[in-house]
Amino acid sequence: MKTFTFDAQVTAALFDRIGAVFALGDGAVVFESGERAEAHDGAVLCACVHPSGDGVVTGGDDGKLVWSRRGESVLLATAKGQWIDAVDAASETGLIAFAFGKTLSVIDVADAAFRRDFVHERTVSGVAFEPKGRRVAASTYGGAALWYARIAQQQPTVLKWAGSHTGVGWSPDGAFLITTMQDNQLHGWRLKDQRNMRMGGYPAKIRNMAFLSRGRLLATPGAQGVVLWPFEGSNGPMGREATEIGFDETSLVNLVAAQAKHGRVAAGLNDGRVWVADPSAQGLERVKADKGAPIVALAFDAETTRLAWADEDGQAGIVDL
């Protein structure tokens, strides 16, 4: 196990194709190998892996979108001084989408002149590319909007559901769109007929979500254990119940991590503990048994053989499983 101590909040932990990367509240991007890039004058607010797989793209409260690799940071785009709250990238198409205020912008890593700006009625809280990278979803108050990422003039497909949606993701087959909501629930839409799916019953905020097991399960935090929703068949979780693994009444799961192709799920708890489990097998592997500050960043590498985490006090670690 490798450990790190940062004198800053950790906004995100990620794995690019080389190793683990931490994006920090002091504007820096720190690589597992020790390189440090001063990416922002301010805090990193959001981060994702670059479409090339090399380095990370961060959005900051300085209104800049920056690509940091080991030894180099380059400015990709700006947001008129506004905070960049959300970012996602599509390796299939080489596109990056980021949100500031009510605007969702799309840029192309292969074409510096390409930029699309899509404006919404309310502030954009989250962005996510569909798995093929051609469409991009934006969550806002009142629902989500789907845009074709490259087309300049278009009317988005608007998926409505009352309430404040705080984040968004796609099922790996592109058939379902899921949002996290302010009031401790998920909402989902089956895209072929826009049928609504309400997924509630959570005691706490759902800060992220991740598909695993070839898309057959959706894992979320927001409860005393990891909540798993079945997504087999064309009905997804409709009419079926969620299961919960790793239940511990003394703590809440703050974050989950998984990769769609693999069967493992990781949980970062609000008491600083981290565990990994395979829902098709028994037991939990306690990766970090010591309690501490709440886990605020958690990520698997592509093969789910390595896990990175960070807590609210700037303590971080990387473990080989």
| Residue ranges binding another protein (CB under 8 A) | 6-9, 11, 25-26, 42-45, 61, 63, 80-83, 85, 101-102, 122-123, 125, 141, 162-164, 181-183, 185, 204-205, 293, 312-314
Q: Which residue, 52 or 184, is less far from another protein as judged by CB? A: 184
Look at residues 201, 200, 205, 198 and name the one whose alpha carbon lies nearest to residue 125.
Answer: 205
Q: Which residue, 123 or 157, is less far from another protein as judged by CB? A: 123
Q: Which residue, 96 or 296, is less far from another protein as judged by CB? A: 296
Tokens of 162: 């009352």
Q: Which residue, 173 or 313, is less far from another protein as judged by CB? A: 313
Cβ 173 to another protein, closest distance in Å? 29
Cβ 237 to another protein, closest distance in Å? 19
Rounded CA gap, 120 and 122, in Å?
6
Q: Which residue, 32 or 85, is less far from another protein as judged by CB? A: 85
Q: Which residue, 63 or 268, is less far from another protein as judged by CB? A: 63
Q: Which residue, 108 or 312, is less far from another protein as judged by CB? A: 312
Q: Which residue, 84 or 265, is less far from another protein as judged by CB? A: 84
Cβ 268 to another protein, closest distance in Å? 15
Cβ 86 to another protein, closest distance in Å? 10
Q: Characterize 3-15 residue by residue with b for buried, 16 or more Cβ atoms within 10 angstroms of its Cβ, and e for exposed.
A: ebebebbbbbbbb
Cβ 211 to another protein, closest distance in Å? 25
- Please, what sign has the CA dihedral across residues 91, 13, 138, 163? positive
Rounded CA gap, 106 and 125, in Å?
15
Look at residues 64, 52, 97 and name the one whose alpha carbon lies nearest to residue 37.
Answer: 64
Cβ 205 to another protein, closest distance in Å? 6
* Contact (Cβ atoms closer than 8 angstroms) between residue 212 and residue 264: yes
Cβ 127 to another protein, closest distance in Å? 14
Q: Characterize 150-175 residue by residue with b for buried, 16 or more Cβ atoms within 10 angstroms of its Cβ, and e for exposed.
A: eeeeeebbebebeebbbbbbbbbeeb
Beta-carbon contacts of 221 under 8 Å, excluding residues fewer than 6 positions away, are: 204, 206, 207, 208, 227, 252, 253, 254, 255, 256, 267, 268
Q: Which residue, 158 or 293, is less far from another protein as judged by CB? A: 293
Look at residues 149, 99, 145 and name the one whose alpha carbon lies nearest to residue 124.
Answer: 99
Cβ 281 to another protein, closest distance in Å? 33
Tokens of 81: 């001084």
Q: What is the DSSP letter of 1?
A: -
User: What's the number of CA atoms in the CB half-sphere (13 Å) around residue 195?
Assistant: 12
The residues with which 88 forms a beta bridge, in sequence order, are 97
Cβ 50 to another protein, closest distance in Å? 21
Tokens of 146: 């789907």
